[in-house]
Amino acid sequence: MVERTPLRIRDRFGYENAQVSRSTEAAFMFVHVLADDAAKLSDLCGILDRRFRVAAERLDVDVKLSEAPHAVVVRADLRVVKNIAALKKRSARMAKIPKRIFLVEEPSHVCISQAYALGATLALPGAINQSKLLAALANPAEPERASPNGEPHQDNAVEVAAAAIGSMFTAVSLGEPIDVTGTKEAGGQIADRITERGLNEWLTTVRRHHEGTYQHCLLVTGVAVDFGLRLGLRRSDLERLHSAAMFHDIGKATIPLAILDKPGRLDVDERTLIETHPVAGYDFLKAHTGVSAEILDAVRHHHEYLDGSGYPDALCAESIADIVRMLTISDIFAALIEHRHYKPTMRRAEAYDILSRMQGKLEKALVAAFKEVALTR
């Protein structure tokens, strides 16, 4: 039985259908919906107001809410300057809301990274996927952690790292230089976080908040960090590894999202295009100071195999550096355990089984050492 009462603030933004619903336990959750026009608000409320209490607001109208929402859902064209300005104006208030879901209309690297720069905890590109949105809202928000002085604060290592990857992808898309130091520092924050809380918590948090290539880059860096910790690398060597991981797929910024995020198998032309990303990344990064020859090597060669069957240069064992061998194992494992909305998530044991059956392609001793990372950490 759904009981509806009119939303108190609806007259202020001229939106007729906004309502407060109470039906299930989910209805106690209060969701703030923001959009850049009334039709989008109407569509979104049509999806949400059967499950949640909803307050709808147009971006060009500033409404004071009577209580703090549990989540905010934003649907706006992030190529439009006045929409970005309106969201920036709300950023301090929005930062206090645990779940901030941006439905990104234009599925481009630039708009997705804009969403993260504006504080999104999850960016869903393209047409609205109702079941995905409802599932994202129904998942519990990340718990707040206490700071050393006892004050609660949002832990933001994931957001900092996602923003760094987002700004890298934007820079490549626009042909601008990237922030090399900031990207390395974000990798350092991932290392600190995993040293403190372990790999499992990182995997869970990243997979809950991020999709597609962002999720992949964050997972690879986390897995590589934990692999380095398992092997007892010195701090400076761990930094080399997580820096290489942060940059490894930067060349994917040149590949359309429709191909990167395509559900199911790629055709031959799409596969050929995807396989251009190591060289594209290498070519882009080599013009930057602060990017070592070792990082360039890792970016270019993380899809090479010891038996010479990899790409782009079909290198053989002796030409593949240790750090690249470690990165390749982390990369394959992370790709296998990614959350994709169109398929079930592979269990870590199954992913490790696949890795260990790639005989001749990966270094046996490293794969053996990786077992503990894959299964127990």
Residue 220 Cβ, how far from Fe ion at the closest point, in Å?
5
Alpha-helical regions (H) of the chain: 10-13, 38-48, 81-89, 91-95, 109-117, 130-138, 157-174, 180-197, 199-209, 212-230, 235-247, 257-260, 268-274, 277-285, 293-301, 322-336, 348-356, 364-375
Is there binding between residue 338 and Fe ion (CB under 5 A)? no
The span from the CA of 368 to the CA of 377, in Å, is 14
Contacts from 275-279 at CB under 8 Å and sequence distance 24+? 275/303, 275/311, 275/312, 276/251, 276/312, 277/249, 277/251, 277/252, 278/251, 278/302, 278/303, 278/311, 278/312, 279/251, 279/312
Residue 346 Cβ, how far from Fe ion at the closest point, in Å?
16
The span from the CA of 48 to the CA of 73, in Å, is 10
Is there binding between residue 331 and Fe ion (CB under 5 A)? yes
Is there binding between residue 249 and Fe ion (CB under 5 A)? yes
Instruction: Indicate the residue among 249 and 297 with the shorter CB distance to Fe ion.
Output: 249
Instruction: Indicate the residue among 249 and 304 with the shorter CB distance to Fe ion.
Output: 249
Instruction: Indicate the residue among 297 and 331 with the shorter CB distance to Fe ion.
Output: 331
Instruction: Indicate the residue among 52 and 282 with the shorter CB distance to Fe ion.
Output: 282
Site string for Fe ion, 94-123 (x = CB under 5 A): ------------------------------
Instruction: Indicate the residue among 57 and 249 with the shorter CB distance to Fe ion.
Output: 249
Cβ 104 vs Cβ 137: under 8 Å: no
Q: Is the peptide bond before 312 cis (omega within 30 degrees of 0)?
A: yes
Taken in order 113, 191, 285, 280, is the CA torsion positive or negative?
Answer: negative
Q: Which window, 15-23, 125-133, 243-251, 290-298, contacts Fe ion (CB under 5 A)?
A: 243-251
Q: Which window, 47-55, 132-140, 180-188, 326-334, contacts Fe ion (CB under 5 A)?
A: 326-334
Q: Which window, 4-12, 41-49, 102-110, 242-250, contacts Fe ion (CB under 5 A)?
A: 242-250
Residue 334 Cβ, how far from Fe ion at the closest point, in Å?
7
The alpha carbons of the chain give a radius of gyration, in whole angstroms, of 22
Q: Which window, 21-29, 203-211, 306-314, 329-337, contacts Fe ion (CB under 5 A)?
A: 329-337
Cβ 100 vs Cβ 93: under 8 Å: no
DSSP class of residue 143? P
Instruction: Indicate the residue among 106 and 311 with the shorter CB distance to Fe ion.
Output: 311
Is there binding between residue 304 and Fe ion (CB under 5 A)? no
The span from the CA of 134 to the CA of 116, in Å, is 20
By CB under 5 A, the count of residues binding Fe ion is 2
Residue 200 Cβ, how far from Fe ion at the closest point, in Å?
20
How many helices (H) and strands (E) would you count in the chain? 18, 9
Is there binding between residue 297 and Fe ion (CB under 5 A)? no
Residue 93 Cβ, how far from Fe ion at the closest point, in Å?
36
Residue 217 Cβ, how far from Fe ion at the closest point, in Å?
7
Residue 277 Cβ, how far from Fe ion at the closest point, in Å?
6
Residue 261 Cβ, how far from Fe ion at the closest point, in Å?
14
Q: Which window, 55-63, 223-231, 249-257, 261-269, contacts Fe ion (CB under 5 A)?
A: 249-257
Residue 26: count of CB within 10 angstroms of its CB: 17
Q: Which window, 18-26, 48-56, 170-178, 330-338, contacts Fe ion (CB under 5 A)?
A: 330-338
The span from the CA of 160 to the CA of 141, in Å, is 17
- Contacting positions for Fe ion (CB under 5 A): 249, 331
